Amino acid sequence: VIQELQLRMIYTAEEKYTVRKSFYSNNVVTSNSALRPPQFLTITVDADERHRLEEQLRTAEKHIQSIDQRMAAIHEHQAQLERRDNELRAKKKQLSDLKSKKRQLEQKISTKQDRHMEQHEINLAAIEEENNAKITAVHNKKVAIVEDCLIHLQRKTRMSMEKEAYLKLDQMKDRLINTCKNLMKKASDICNMAPGEKAVPQELHMAFSQLPDALDEIDFMLNEERTKAECFTGLSEAVVEEYNRREVEIRNMEAELNEKTNALTTYRQNISEAKVRWLNPLKQLVEQINERFSDFFRSMQCAGEVDLYSENEEEYDKYGIRIRVKFRSNTQLHELTPHHQSGGERSVSTMLYLMALQDLNRCPFRVGMDPVNERRVFDIVVRTACGVNTSQYFFITPKLLPNLHYGDQMTILCVHNGPFMLQPNEWREKSFLRRARRRTSS
């Protein structure tokens, strides 16, 4: 500015700048010196009154800005109403034209009908005969339909009876199969066969081959053997002791089996109760996260869901959180993976998921995204942080997008850095304070 205006001396509020030309090298030398405090032409300023007026000015500017925004919204709404009025007027004109055409067509049709009635005489007898024939045909068709319905009902009744008989036979078959299975199991136990063993031992097969095939003959032989056993008294004491010992072992094993069965039932019941105590609060927690996550995506005209997912409910170690998102209206919800979404979409989804966790878990986050999604997420962060009883946010960024919305509860701190800043050894706090005092006194 000094070189362009060719000034020799410039005064500012705090310093005096002097420009002079060297007599030897013709170089321009600029020097500055601090001004002394004013002594004669000083004006006393009421700092409180000035602060109050500045506050009123800022309030008035905000009020004017809000009024301008409302005026812009009103103008936009007025333009929409005018466009809507023009559309309705055009539709009204179209309807009027259509009504006029309708009246003309009705008049033409009425005229043609009158001409047709005049040109062709109506034969009432032929028309009545034709109508009677049609009525008779309709009655005949109704009778045929009723007969078909009766035949169908008879068939349905017969099928129901056959189905009931079949069900009874099927139940009888199941009872016989269960009886056969029980008898086979009992026979396997008597023959001391291992569980799952189907082949009958060779010695038993030979013994069974010597028995008769008729059931009556087998019962007769069984009764005969029982009679012989009752008449036989030559049992040794060792056999009786072994029998008694086995009987006691069987009773003990049955008691142990009942005890373990009861313990297993109690264990399963405890597992079910623990599952209810653990799973229900977890589902409620995930539902709360899902509500916040879905609200954030709806505010961006997108869709997102968070749910608790597991292929098998009994495999507790495989429970997990599944995130599904949709960024376009013509697609379905897809699980958040590196294959379905882009890097920016994954960053936005991660950001919103972490924000949904803020009410439940205090955790920092740091992600990057494109300008459009960065603006959307910044608006959501401002609304969330400026709410009532919300968490405190520290938003640190090397840059800010233009025309962002800032809340009244936000505090903005600018950290200056770069090649034009003073070096640490040149930083003089006392000099800054002196300048501040001179500025205040002036």
Q: What would the pLDDT profile of 123-182 be if each residue is shown by its tens digit?
A: 667 778 888 888 888 888 888 888 888 888 888 888 888 888 888 888 888 888 888 788
Q: Is 219 left (phi over 0), alpha (psi -120 to 50) or beta?
A: alpha
Q: Is residue 307 a contact partner of residue 322, using CB atoms and an 8 Å limit?
A: yes
Question: What DSSP string runs through 288-306?
Answer: HHHHHHHHHHHHTT-EEEE
Q: At what angle do helices 371-385 and 237-299 cross, to 10 degrees?
A: 100
| pLDDT tens digits, 61-85 | 898 888 889 888 988 988 898 888 8
Closest CA to 187 of 160, 218, 149, 231: 218
- How much is the pTM? 0.33
Tokens in use for 249? 């072992």
Residues 334, 316 contacting (CB under 8 angstroms):
no
pLDDT in tens, 185-212: 777 777 667 666 666 677 777 777 777 7
Q: What is the mean pLDDT of the chain?
A: 81
Query: Which DSSP letter does residue 318 get?
Result: G
Structure tokens at 51: 């602060």
Interacting residues of 327 by C-beta distance below 8 A, sequence separation 6+: 302, 341, 345
For residue 324, the cross-strand partners are: 305, 335
Cβ atoms of residues 438 and 37 within 8 Å? yes
pLDDT at 349 over 60: yes
SS3 85: helix
9 vs 352: which has the higher pLDDT: 352
313 to 264, 278, 320: CA distances (angstroms): 20, 13, 11
